[in-house]
Structure 1
Amino acid sequence: MTVRLAAPGRRRWLRLAGAAGLAACAALSLPRPAAAAEWPTRPVKIVIAVAAGSTGDILARSLAQRLEGIWKQPVIVENKPGAGGVIGTEYVVNATDGHTLLLGTQSSILPRFTTKNLKFDPMTDLVPVYKVINYQLVIAVNAETAPKAKTLRELVDLSKSSPNGLFFAGTGQTSVFNLTMALLNKSLGMKYTPLDFNSIGTMNLAAMRNDAQFLVNTPSSMKSQIDSGKLKPLAAISAERYASFPELPTLAEAVGYKGYLPLLWAGIFVPKGTPAAVVDRIAHDFSTLEADKAFRGSIESKLSGRMVASSPSAFAKQLAEEANVWKNLFAEMNYKPE
């Protein structure tokens, strides 16, 4: 997620994004670092902390296919789901072969605040290399709720008018979807109870069955349900409208929202101690992929997201700012790591 705030915070984000873009352009125009000229010398492994077939898995395999042509080595995608992302992240933290990368998300840094006796610190034991993509996120309702809440404003009002409020389909108190809703609700003021499910698929199914009335998810993860009318997006969690959903209002347009805008992202990390020249080499090569218009267009249309120009320094700064937001949210929630 990239920190996006209104007014001065928004300007700060734009400056940061601009810096990332300049860094990426510089990476493309300069020769690869001499110290990393021979890297990789063996097959490269991209670890993801999610199951096969997921959005992250599709992204990883698409990247791997293209990177094999650049690196002239096999690029293997390894799925290590479980424990809220801890298993896959810890595996990369402990890797010593110099050829193991993590395609991580918020789930890679959130355990710092959610997991008791964590054996590593994701903010110091991982080196951020390149943010790859910002995914689209929407607030959606099911077909039974849609006639009663045609807009986000009506959904907020509906939640307040119901004696028990509404049910929200999520994947756990500390998941990206639940935390996104908790952040947004500081301004929305909805009356709701989270119901937690063990996967995105069961989360969607619960909403379609009306076990829960609304959810936060990516359009790509709900495509068939949106196309069939079983789920209906009400608002884009974004500062601008999505090109793929031009009729969908932003939160600001829907309810005048002016607060923090969480973004679901995926990015590349390597273990602490990886030589700086190798980090720069990897960032350079991911810049090459981002600059490929055909490849970028294919990824963005397939995964409902936007590939971004990035750099190690810009990604690290974004992570530090975002980690501070999560830290404050968990403090407000009085959440105790488990």
Structure 2
Amino acid sequence: MVRGPRSGLPVIVAVHSTTLGQAVGGLRMWHYPDWRDAQADALRLARGMTYKTAAAGVPKGGGKTVVALPSTVAASRRRDALLDAGDVIESFGGRYATGPDVGTSEADMDVIASRTRHVFCRPLPSGGSGDSSPATAAGVVAALRALGPLAGRRFAVVGLGRVGGAVASTLAASGATLVVSDVDPARRGLADSLGAAWVSPEEALTAEVDVVVPAALGGVLTAEVVPRLRCGAIAGPANNQLQDESVADLLHARGIVWVPDYVVSMGGVINAMAVEIDGVSAAEAARRVDGIGTTVGDLLEVADRDGVTPARAAMDRARTRLENGLVHSGRD
């Protein structure tokens, strides 16, 4: 933790693990009541990244950067804080790299890049990987293929943003039947072009389909919603889909397969790190993203064999990898 010499703001970098590879985690700029709250957030989020990357089969560790902002901050002081953060990240000598998070953007990564090369998700004109949504969508489709063939099956896509819209388009092109929703009525044009049934978000979530694909807000899977679900599986990119961890057990009791969102949604991060940090070709980056399907298949196999939820299988897998230091090439 450093008080930035330019900004005078607390800059906190937490590296939780480099067991499987370089630690990665976004830079969060947020308002905290006290610097200790920012420190606690950095530690919690860094630990979370360790288990997320390990469970998702990504040969990286977990880290996080947090800059504690005052209630109001001038644009010049914010830029100075980004430069300060870049210096702190550089001091780790490559053991940690950062990307966008809450309160930061691709453009901010360009500012940080003036102080360190250990940064990803920069804009395309700057030589970065640019928009992460196509790779995120590709990873989601790979996960859905692990659940079974796409053609002839029914999917409910909840949210038609950049990722959800791309997933829905791929599903339709693959011969799937779609039920879709979005809070923005303008998205209905996409639904019509795909021949999809347009319903409300609540109706989509509880539609009678093979797979529900949450692709909007988190917290949609609650104890109250689970009894009303009429699907066989749930797999989507929306973050933090479960209201709390107990919901995974409720889904399991009903025989509904829930694939952890932090595995399904890793495509964009995998692509950015592969291209910008590891320097691999676009083809190799795409292969790594497609490996999400193999990861999901492995998790489902272990969960079925051991009679546990996929969420438990993912956490056990992450812990085993960390305990054994299993570094691999990205192909599971």
Same topology, TM > 0.5: no
Higher relative contact order (CA 8 A, sep 6+): 1
